[in-house]
A and B are shown apart, each in its own frame.
Chain A
């Protein structure tokens, strides 16, 4: 039996009521299969943020349907969407968004609070995720003492601790130098090789080109690059 695509957008339009009404995304169709490695590029204001919001279940399409892991999300209420977000989607951000006063372990554990990881498994899974990103020697450090690359690895560990289907990375290398960027991208690709579907939104051409598929958003429309 074949798996349904992780993400399927069908004729999705997102417009913001005006005046003037702005159509941030126009009639978009997109399929992301399980295990896909996709990059989304585009200039500022092209609709990347809106795309991220929609894919991350943080916003709803005005028109069209979004199927996540084969299920329609349009009719879910906010709580169900939050639960789905916690359970099936992992986020990595440019600014890391680690809580400065708490240890690496606590930061990773934060993701287990909302995603419904059974209480007894929380710590072991968090430690496993930290181990997976190669930071087991930093478990009790606070983010302030870590390098940028290490911080982003913590954020990746936090994103994958709930075993998501889809990892959404928003400019994950924007605050990192070239070498560290490469290391973080290597980590993403390892995770992808293990079967995690990966969507990276980026400005960085070098980063975008590493992906198997690349999509450009211009003026609210998608263009699949070869």
Chain B
């Protein structure tokens, strides 16, 4: 503090000197660095805090609990959201389905408003985020039976015959089909219209076919088709397990399939929003509205939803714990002010201003809050990591969360210290000094 004030002593009586020597009478000029600097403040505050370690622990406990519960709550919400999104990814979050939109034709009937082009897979595969795509079409057999042996027996009971669908070469991969025996047909079979089929696992069982190395055939009506593979899995279209799947080209040649009915697209994680917006335009630039797209919501949407659900209750609990922590700090700091009345009076007598005193108690309470915040934050992070490891999850924690929560502890300390600091700065020195 710089006291520029230098005044001559006033003459009060005849024998008082007219002008004093420099230095007499003038308030001392003190360099800022020499009088209760920040360093001094921190040292004094740390002694105040460290004087009673057991009490310090009790004081910080509330803040520790409050901050820890906040970190744990938000940390688990983030971790759980990541975890749930991961599980979704495996099946649903990477799958997009495009079908022609349906329009009402009046009379309660609907018709397809658009037509999926035959080259739809090539069109969408160019989009960012698309792994592979495949077309699917239903084949109208016109009541031709599907059998493994062509027997024309009018007296035989009507057998259930498996459905027949047509698919482009990549479809089975796009719907996660696993070829368990033989192979899948390829683009060549498709282009040539070869009479080959792949059987769904249950359809193969029904038809009595369990191996393909002997090139078994099935008959649709009276036409024979070579079975080249049996497929299982197909998580996205499990009805295909009961179907006979033939190349699209073959179906167009033999059964005059008019148009594909579904486009299945396998996408990268998180590309759902993008692909669902771009795919209709790629398919029909003039009339993208003619397609209906079913896509997973973006990963971030999902996370936000889950986070919002999990957070609200626990955030309230954490807030209550934090409030209790703040009241604890306020209470103990007030107690400390009352106990240290003598010290406060002494400091005032030694030249401390009210502000110096208030600041010291303020800093003490902020440091206690910060301490609680740091410990609570660390405990919270540990809890999230340990539980995640135990559950086999990936712990996901925003580093700013931990830092922010530690600082929140300091803010709680600041708020809690305001009243005690005010009380301390208003203590009358002599009353305090003579009282004890």
Q: Is B343 an interface residue (CB 8 A)?
A: yes
* Also in contact, A4 and B16, with CB within 8 A (given A58-B348, A114-B351): yes
Q: Across the interface, which residues of B come within 8 angstroms of A59, CB to CB? A: 430
Q: Is B211 an interface residue (CB 8 A)?
A: no
A210 at the interface (CB under 8 A from B): no
B328 at interface (Cβ–Cβ under 8 A)? no
16 A-B Cβ contacts within 8 A? A3-B21, A4-B20, A4-B24, A8-B16, A69-B24, A80-B3, A83-B28, A83-B351, A99-B47, A101-B47, A113-B35, A113-B352, A114-B347, A114-B352, A116-B28, A170-B434
Say yes or no: B20 contacts A91, CB within 8 Å: no
Cα–Cα distance between A80 and B29 once the two chains are bound (Å): 10
Q: Which of B6-30 contact A (CB under 8 A)?
A: 7, 9-10, 12, 15-17, 20-21, 24-28, 30
| Closest Cβ neighbor of B431 among chain A residues | A49
Quick one: which of A46-70 are within 8 Å of B by CB? 49, 52-53, 56, 58-59, 65, 67-70
Asked if B125 CB lies within 8 Å of chain A CBs, one says no
Residue of A nearest to B47 (CB): A102
Find chain B residues with CB under 8 A from A5 CB: 16
A3-B18 Cα distance, complex, nearest whole Å: 10
Binds B, one of A71-79, A133-141, A180-188: A71-79
Chain A neighbourhood of B36, CB < 8 A: 113-114
Q: In this assembly, does B215 line the interface, its C-beta being within 8 Å of a C-beta of chain A?
A: no
Q: Which residues of A contact B (CB under 8 A)?
A: 1-5, 8, 10, 49, 52-53, 56, 58-59, 65, 67-72, 76, 78-80, 82-88, 91, 93-95, 97, 99, 101-102, 106, 110-111, 113-119, 158, 162, 170
Q: By the criterion CB–CB under 8 Å, are A114 and B1 in contact? A: no
Contact between A10 and B12 (Cβ–Cβ < 8 Å)?
Answer: yes
Minimum CB–CB distance for A99 against chain B, Å? 6
In the assembled complex, which residues on chain A have CB atoms less than 8 Å from the CB atom of B30? Answer: 83, 87, 116
Q: Tell me which residues from 38 to 59 in chain B have a Cβ below 8 Å from any Cβ of chain A.
A: 40, 44, 47, 50-51
**Interface pair A52/B351, CB less than 8 Å apart:** no
Residues of A within 8 A of B7 (CB): 71-72
Bound form: Cα–Cα A106–B16 in Å: 40
**List of B residues within 8 angstroms of A101 by Cβ:** 47, 50-51
Task: Point out the residue from A71, A84, A91, A115 that lies within 8 Å of B35, measured CB to CB.
Answer: A115
Q: Are A87 and B28 in contact (CB under 8 A)?
A: yes
| Given A83-B3, A97-B343, A170-B433: A115 and B350 interface contact (C-beta under 8 Å) | yes
In order of increasing CB-CB distance, the 9 nearest A-B pairs are A86-B351, A116-B30, A70-B9, A70-B25, A114-B351, A71-B25, A87-B28, A82-B353, A97-B346
Instruction: Name B1's contact: one of A76, A79, A158 (CB within 8 Å).
Output: A79
* Segment 347-378 of B: residues with Cβ below 8 Å from A: 347-356
In the complex the two chains form, is B1's CB within 8 Å of A70's CB?
no
**Is the pair B24, A3 in contact by a Cβ cutoff of 8 Å?**
yes
Q: Note all chain B residues with C-beta closer than 8 A to A58.
A: 348-349, 428-430
Distance in Å: Cβ of A54 to nearest Cβ of chain B: 10
Closest to B436 in A: A95
> A113: which of B350, B354, B428, B433 is its contact (CB, 8 Å)?
B350
B342 at the interface (CB under 8 A from A): yes
B90 at the A interface (CB under 8 A): no
A67 in complex: contacting residue of B1, B12, B34, B349, CB < 8 Å = B12
Considering the complex, which residues of chain B in the window 150-196 have a beta carbon less than 8 Å from any beta carbon of chain A? none
User: How far does the Cβ of A28 sit from chain B's closest Cβ, in whole Å?
Assistant: 14
Q: How far is the CA of A59 from the CA of B430 in the complex (A)?
A: 9
Chain B's closest residue to A58 (CB) is B429
Q: A1 vs B17: C-alpha distance in the bound complex, in angstroms? A: 8
Taken together as a complex, chains A and B put the C-alpha atoms of A144 and B393 apart, in Å, by 56
Q: Is B390's CB within 8 Å of the partner chain A?
A: no
Residues of A within 8 A of B100 (CB): none
For A99, what are the chain B residues with a Cβ–Cβ distance below 8 Å? 47, 343
- List residues 321-352 of chain B with CB under 8 A from any CB of chain A: 342-343, 345-352
Docked Cα-Cα span, A62 to B162, in Å, equals 110
User: Given A49-B430, A86-B350, A118-B31, do A76 and B51 touch, yes or no (CB 8 Å)?
Assistant: no
Cα–Cα, bound, A1→B20 (Å): 8
**Minimum distance in angstroms from A79 CB to a CB of chain B:** 5
Q: Which residue of B lies closest to A121 (CB)?
A: B34
List chain B residues, Cβ under 8 A from A71.
Answer: 7, 9, 24-27
* Chain B residue, CB-CB nearest to A3: B24
**A175 → chain B, closest Cβ, in Å?**
11
CB-nearest residue of chain B relative to A159? B350
Residues of A within 8 A of B433 (CB): 91, 93, 95, 97, 170
Bound-state Cα–Cα, A67 to B8, Å: 11
Q: How far is the CB of B373 from chain A (nearest CB, A)?
A: 25
Contact A67 B10 (CB under 8 A): yes
Asked whether, in the complex, the Cβ of B12 is within 8 Å of the Cβ of A65, the reply is: yes
Residue B342 contacts which of A84, A91, A97, A106 (CB distance < 8 angstroms)? A97
Within the complex, the shortest CB–CB distance from B377 to chain A, in Å, comes to: 29
Shortest distance from the beta carbon of B55 to any chain A beta carbon, whole Å: 12
Tell me the minimal C-beta distance from B168 to chain A in angstroms. 83
Name the CB-closest residue of B to A88. B28
B236 CB → nearest A CB, Å: 72
For A4, the chain B residues whose CB sits under 8 A away are 9, 16-17, 20, 24-25
Least CB separation from B18: chain A residue: A1
Which of B33, B36, B37, B356 has the most chain A CB atoms closer than 10 A to its own CB? Answer: B36
CA distance in complex: A151, B182 (Å): 99
B406-436 to A contact mask, C-beta < 8 Å, 1/0: 0000000000000000000000111001101
Instruction: Tell which of A10, A56, A95, A119 touches B33, judged by Cβ atoms closer than 8 Å.
Output: A119
Q: A158: shortest Cβ distance to chain B, in Å?
A: 8
Inter-chain contacts of A86 with B (CB < 8 A): 35, 350-352
Cβ-neighbour of A82 out of B5, B20, B351, B430 (below 8 A): B351
Chain A CB within 10 Å — which of B16, B33, B35, B428 has the most? B35
Q: Is the CB of A85 within 8 A of B349?
A: yes
CB A71 to nearest CB in B, in angstroms, measures: 4
